[in-house]
Amino acid sequence: MRKRLLRSVLAAALSAVAAFGALSGYSDAKTGTQADSHWPSIVVDSGR
């Protein structure tokens, strides 16, 4: 009986986390701002 309750609690927590992640993903898409994850192709050496 305890294992069954634990599984139910874990399943509910996982569902809540998945729903929260999906909803926060949609709310970020509305703002139109994106993180700049572009790496420069040329590295400038300022030591010379």
pLDDT of residue 31: 55
> How far is it, in rounded angstroms, from Cα 40 to Cα 43?
7
Amino acid in the structure at residue 10: L
Amino acid in the structure at residue 16: A
* 32 phi-psi bin (left φ>0, alpha ψ -120 to 50, beta other): left
pLDDT of residue 14: 95
Express each pLDDT in 1-48 by its tens digit. 899 999 999 999 999 999 888 877 765 455 556 666 777 677 667 766
pLDDT of residue 20: 87
> How far is it, in rounded angstroms, from Cα 16 to Cα 23?
11
pLDDT of residue 24: 75
Place of tokens 């634990």: 6
Q: Taking the model in full, what pTM does it have?
A: 0.48
